[in-house]
Amino acid sequence: MSQATFDIDALILEADREAAPVWDGAPLHYHEDPYRPEELDAAFARWKFENGKFGCIPDSHMWNRSMFNHVPSDRAQLRG
């Protein structure tokens, strides 16, 4: 791909971020307040939308399903 393609994608993403409504769901940072899993999923998706996916789990300090549903590939064979 050319640099122009990446530049256009970045401009589209920036426009989408500016047009997004103000977030009023679960906090977009670490918290200990109770929320339903669906609300936490939506908050994590919004965090990734606003900040990108690279390093999203350690950088966000947020609950996410991969903390509980993920099985590392090197250990997947051990499950029976």
Q: What ranges do the domains of the chain cover?
A: 24-78
The neighbour count for residue 62, using CB atoms within 10 Å, is 20
Q: What is the pLDDT of residue 43?
A: 92
If pLDDT is split at 50, 70 and 90, which confidence band does 76 have? very low
| Residue type at position 24 | D
> 25-34 long-range contacts, Cβ below 8 Å, gap at least 24?
28/60, 28/62, 29/60, 29/61, 29/62, 30/61, 30/62
pTM over the 0.75 mark: no
Tokens representing 57 are: 């789990």
The backbone torsions φ and ψ at residue 19, rounded to the nearest 5 degrees and listed phi first, read: -85, -10
Q: Give tens-digit pLDDT for 3-40.
A: 766 678 788 888 888 888 899 999 988 888 999 888 98
